[in-house]
């Protein structure tokens, strides 16, 4: 791939472009600051199967042109997507399908066409939950599937989620579970509890399902599911980072037959104790930067249980802030670069910060 020879509209192969809404290629080896940058930038977008397509070639000279380019990108290269779906009563599956595309795809609210008229719907970039068609590109309806079809049991939400997972190599188990529950209810496999999110969305339908209030309620439902999926994504991303820290930075210290897992003071986030179950530790000590104290917790023998090998008891020191009567938690301030906790039957244990 010779960048100097690229032209607008040209398609090319690049494995690294997969999943990138936009990718920028700098022509030549330019390592300047933005203020004296003078170069050419090729803007390309992912068109699938590890292929990209050049959508613009921009010559940059200085900070003003750089800022101009970024404004152009945000307005021109990320156009508002048009999504078509059926009108009338809305359900959790098409609402969730659109919300998932916002969170993991185009990143902003699309223009939504609600109709069953094929002539009106054909203006849409993608069509969900209507049309009796599925191709995994533009059409994402499930009503044509028979029980012996491979994709039977997936609603429009499941079909969109399948496409997004494959395209961007996504791994979010909580979203897998929620989408699966929405699928099961919408396809008649299993009814969800009364106050499940699928039923809450159903309750947002208006008395008059043909009026402007119904369209407003639909947008409100989409916004609600955008918030739900965004929060699930954020929490799983954070948990993945905590798991990485737990695996890479934890230190095992053995004192008087007590195996202590200690995290460095500069970790920057509080790691849940359940991540250390089965890792060979008896207690976990870590610094809580928000409270400015060291916290020690016993590590349960099994997830979902409080039973552990040892029990914590008060140290009686001036630095100790709290020791739970259940023996599973203690917090303390440090003194002269050390902090301590006490283990029943063992005594006080001192550790360096």
Q: What are the pLDDT digits (tens) for 199-228?
A: 999 999 999 999 889 999 999 999 999 999
Whether 102 and 163 map to the same domain: the answer is: yes
What pLDDT was estimated at residue 44?
Answer: 78
Q: What are 100-159's pLDDT values in tens digits?
A: 999 998 777 888 999 999 999 999 999 999 999 999 999 999 999 999 999 999 999 999
Q: Between residues 303 and 175, which one has the greater pLDDT? A: 175
For the cut 80, the answer to whether the pLDDT of residue 37 exceeds it is: no
Whether 69 and 122 map to the same domain: the answer is: no
Whether 73 and 89 map to the same domain: the answer is: no
| Structure tokens that stand for 9 in this block | 């509209």
User: Which has the closest alpha carbon to 311: 347, 338, 274?
Assistant: 347
Q: Between residues 70 and 255, which one has the greater pLDDT? A: 255
Whether 298 and 335 map to the same domain: the answer is: yes
What's the mean pLDDT when you consider all of the chain?
A: 88
What pLDDT was estimated at residue 30?
Answer: 42
For the cut 80, the answer to whether the pLDDT of residue 342 exceeds it is: yes
For the cut 80, the answer to whether the pLDDT of residue 171 exceeds it is: yes
Boundary residue ending a domain (241, 276, 291): 241
Boundary residue ending a domain (77, 98, 122): 77
What pLDDT was estimated at residue 68?
Answer: 67
What pLDDT was estimated at residue 58?
Answer: 74
How far, CA to CA in Å, does 109 sit from each of 93, 99, 138, 220, 223?
17, 8, 18, 11, 8
Binning pLDDT at 50, 70 and 90, where does residue 320 land?
Answer: very high
| Structure tokens that stand for 260 in this block | 């202590």
Whether 10 and 49 map to the same domain: the answer is: yes
Whether 152 and 293 map to the same domain: the answer is: no
Boundary residue ending a domain (55, 77, 99): 77
Residue 299 · residue 313 · CB < 8 Å: no
Q: Between residues 154 and 52, which one has the greater pLDDT? A: 154
How far, CA to CA in Å, does 127 sit from each of 105, 118, 196?
15, 10, 26
Whether 172 and 236 map to the same domain: the answer is: yes
Sign of CA dihedral 94, 95, 99, 102: positive
Whether 317 and 257 map to the same domain: the answer is: yes
**Contacts (Cβ under 8 Å, ≥6 apart) of 75:** none
Residues 322-350 have a mean pLDDT of: 97
Whether 151 and 199 map to the same domain: the answer is: yes
For the cut 70, the answer to whether the pLDDT of residue 77 exceeds it is: no
| Separation CA 219–CA 257 (nearest Å) | 60
For the cut 80, the answer to whether the pLDDT of residue 67 exceeds it is: no
Binning pLDDT at 50, 70 and 90, where does residue 11 land?
Answer: confident
For the cut 60, the answer to whether the pLDDT of residue 305 exceeds it is: yes
Residue 234 · residue 224 · CB < 8 Å: no
Residue 23 · residue 44 · CB < 8 Å: yes
For the cut 50, the answer to whether the pLDDT of residue 32 exceeds it is: no
Whether 280 and 201 map to the same domain: the answer is: no
| Separation CA 181–CA 197 (nearest Å) | 10
Binning pLDDT at 50, 70 and 90, where does residue 330 land?
Answer: very high
Residues spanned by the domain of 12 = 3-77
**Contacts (Cβ under 8 Å, ≥6 apart) of 298:** 282, 283, 284, 308, 309, 310, 311, 312, 327, 328, 329
Whether 213 and 108 map to the same domain: the answer is: yes
Q: How many domains does the chain have?
A: 3
What pLDDT was estimated at residue 29?
Answer: 46
Q: Between residues 281 and 32, which one has the greater pLDDT? A: 281
Whether 144 and 190 map to the same domain: the answer is: yes
pTM: 0.70
């Amino acid at each position: 791939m010779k960048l100097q020879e690229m032209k607008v509209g040209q398609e090319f192969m690049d494995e690294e472009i997969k999943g990138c809404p936009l990718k920028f290629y700098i022509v030549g080896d330019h390592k300047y600051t933005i203020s004296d940058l003078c170069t050419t930038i090729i803007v390309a977008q992912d068109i699938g199967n590890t292929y990209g397509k050049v959508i613009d070639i921009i010559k940059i000279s200085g900070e003003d042109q750089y800022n101009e380019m970024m404004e152009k990108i945000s307005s021109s290269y990320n156009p508002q997507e048009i999504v078509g779906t059926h009108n009338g009563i809305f359900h959790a599956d098409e609402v969730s399908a659109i919300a998932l595309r916002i969170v993991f795809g185009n990143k902003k609210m699309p223009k939504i066409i609600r109709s069953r008229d094929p002539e009106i719907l054909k203006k849409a970039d993608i069509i969900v939950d209507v049309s009796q068609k599925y191709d995994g590109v533009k059409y994402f309806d499930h009503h044509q599937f028979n029980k012996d079809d491979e994709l039977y049991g997936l609603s429009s939400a499941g079909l969109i989620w399948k496409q997004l997972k494959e395209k961007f190599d996504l791994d979010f188990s909580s979203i897998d579970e929620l989408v699966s529950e929405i699928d099961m209810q919408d396809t008649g496999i299993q009814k969800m509890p009364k106050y499940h999110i699928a039923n809450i969305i159903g309750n947002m339908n208006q008395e008059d399902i043909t009026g402007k209030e119904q369209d407003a309620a639909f947008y409100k439902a989409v916004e609600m599911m955008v918030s739900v999926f965004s929060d699930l994504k954020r929490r799983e991303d954070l948990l993945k980072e905590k798991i990485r820290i737990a695996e890479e930075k934890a230190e095992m210290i053995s004192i008087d037959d007590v195996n202590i897992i200690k995290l460095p003071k500069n970790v920057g986030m509080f790691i849940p104790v359940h991540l250390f179950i089965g890792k060979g530790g008896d207690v976990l000590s870590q610094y809580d930067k928000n409270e400015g104290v060291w916290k020690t917790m016993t590590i349960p023998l099994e997830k979902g249980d409080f039973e552990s090998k040892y029990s914590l008891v008060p140290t009686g020191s001036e630095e100790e802030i709290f020791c739970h009567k259940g023996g599973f938690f203690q917090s303390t301030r440090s003194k002269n670069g050390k902090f301590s906790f006490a283990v029943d039957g063992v005594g006080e244990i001192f550790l360096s910060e």
